[in-house]
Amino acid sequence: AALAAAFQAAAVELPRLVTQDGRHALLVDGAPYLMLGAQAHNSSNYVAALPKVWAALADANANTLEIPVAWEQIEPAEGKFDFGYVDTLVQQARERNVRLVLLWFGTWKNTGPSYVPEWVKFDNARFPRMLDQQGKPIYCLSPHGTETLKADRNAFVRLMTHLKQIDGDRHTVIMVQVQNEVGTYGYARDYSPAGQKAFAGAVPAAVLKQQKSPVQGAASGTWQQVYGDYAEQYFHTWAIASYIEEIAKAGRAVYDLPMFVNNALRDPVEPLAPWRKNFASGGPTYDVIGIYKAAAPHIDVAGPDIYEPASPKVMATLDKFQRPDNALFVPEIGNSTVYPRYAFAVLGRGGIGFAPFGIDYADYSNFPLGSKATDRTMVAPFGTIFGAFRPMARQWAQWAFEGRTRGVAEGDDRAPQTIALRGWKATVSFREWQFGEAQYFKHIQDKPAGTEAPNGGVAVAQVGDNEFIVVGQHARIKFEGAGANAGKPSMYARVEEGQFDSQGRWVMERNWNGDQTDYGLNFMARPAVLRVKLGTY
């Protein structure tokens, strides 16, 4: 009876983000959840389009589908709501044992108003667009439009109310993204009278506290006084974040699901500089996460949308978005073959989720951002990795929350990388054969098939003092003593290849020894899961 009661409690517990010791977990049904996600294409949010989404999701071995719910589709005429699509979506997700992350395409979708209903799109008097410095309306809706906020918030609250009704006891839907890639391209802020007035106001105390100024500015005062050359961008960021906060707060008041925003990135490597039309002003770029935290406390996470494949940039982006006050969550990453390996880095670093974008068979390719292919060949490289993680996803999320996991993705330089573990150090190298050391075979020019471009990765969970779960592809890993074991000779006590079963029990398939361990542990194209026990002598 106590157990039944505990299950009951877990089933009714709402999904939520928790933080401990600077690490984060997304709790679903009361336990950390690893989101092996996939995002559908922008226009697949219609019942008849779903079969091509589910087919790709299955091939991806994803446990979570991210998919839009558009304002235009749930409120095509003002005050008339239609949740037919949402009902079918939730029903079909349950049948497939898949969770949902809904993307609220409202006032801003990639900064523009393409997903607002027609009755909003062209009523600029009631739903004002931003004005440029000459007073001319631009493409983007103004974050100072009080009627726009009211209308968007109203529709969103209706959506959350409906979700609570149909899913409040099941939690098929585990998170909601509020808007999509907000900000404004080409304009720093809104120069309308409402915008001008707000810009002349004082920086709110919460922003002063959470967003330090990159320049020597006043400790308080107007945006210009405090943030100097960054004032316009920071002000616009605050305006949009505050607008999002009103929507998220109202939605969570009726149904308290975790909520997040996503970001079209600014360059993470070039030195920080004032906005120069080089990214969307007002979005949750890495430099203004503090403003989002201050202005939008009902938004749990700001996540990076990664479409720039260069490994130093990807790593810099992960570094910048993983913070004690911000969980690492990659809600979008390109679906071409350069990106799957980053799953090892994101999930190894303790990310709560990772979702390639464009995982459906709708015959649309967003090349050159993503893959040219729109069929199984595009999905498979993600599917093999997710397939290795999926049976142990719950364990992995728990280990990540406990700070036991690490991960690396092969860099564009193909160079070895080291992983610091408690009492141990691991070295991961790439393009190695399974047998022998490269230095003895200098005459061999050949490299393993499938390693022509970087696609290796390894993630490690330290499950005991000398015990590790290791998952990888196209990589070699070797361990040596460090810390308390520094300088001690060591060897494998045991290396089992296997997987966890549905009860969470480790099931061994074979014991790696001899050739299989003499030259490190070598992962090839098929991601394998190893349970590695080490010992010193």
Buried b / exposed e across 14-29, counting CB within 10 Å, b at 16+?
bbbbeeeeebbbbbbb
The amino acid at 43:
S
Residue entry with tokens 């719950």: 394
Comparison of 103 and 130: residue with beta carbon closer to ligand N0T:
103
Please tell me whether residue 264 binds ligand N0T under the rule CB under 6 A: yes
- Considering only 206, 369, 373, 438, the residue that binds ligand N0T (CB under 6 A) is 369
- Considering only 172, 224, 366, 434, the residue that binds ligand N0T (CB under 6 A) is 366
Q: Tell me the window of 6-14, 287-295, 304-312, 438-446 that interacts with ligand N0T (CB under 6 A).
A: 304-312
CB of 518 to ligand N0T, least distance (A): 43
Please tell me whether residue 360 binds ligand N0T under the rule CB under 6 A: no
Looking at residues 150 to 209 of the shown chain, list those that interact with ligand N0T (rule: CB under 6 A).
180-181
In whole angstroms, what is the distance from residue 253 CA to residue 536 CA?
A: 55
Comparison of 236 and 266: residue with beta carbon closer to ligand N0T:
266
Residue entry with tokens 């994803």: 62
Please tell me whether residue 72 binds ligand N0T under the rule CB under 6 A: no
- Which residue minimizes CB distance to ligand N0T? 366
- Considering only 19, 88, 110, 222, the residue that binds ligand N0T (CB under 6 A) is 110
Comparison of 33 and 108: residue with beta carbon closer to ligand N0T:
108
Comparison of 357 and 389: residue with beta carbon closer to ligand N0T:
357
Residue entry with tokens 């790593």: 315
- Considering only 357, 389, 399, 401, the residue that binds ligand N0T (CB under 6 A) is 357
Comparison of 264 and 529: residue with beta carbon closer to ligand N0T:
264
CB of 263 to ligand N0T, least distance (A): 9
Q: What is the 3-state secondary structure (H, E, C) of 340-380?
A: CCHHHHHHHCCCCEEEEECCCCCCCCCCCCCCCCCCHHHHH
Question: Would you say 200 and 224 are in contact if contact means Cβ atoms under 8 Å apart?
Answer: no
The alpha-helical segments, DSSP class H, found in 263-328 are 289-295, 311-321
Closest of 531, 529, 503 to residue 388, by C-alpha? 529
Closest of 345, 220, 240, 213 to residue 302, by C-alpha? 240
The pattern of x and - marking residues 19 through 48 that bind ligand N0T according to CB under 6 A reads -----------------------x------
Give residues in contact with ligand N0T (CB under 6 A). Answer: 42, 110, 180-181, 262, 264, 305, 307-308, 332, 357, 366, 369
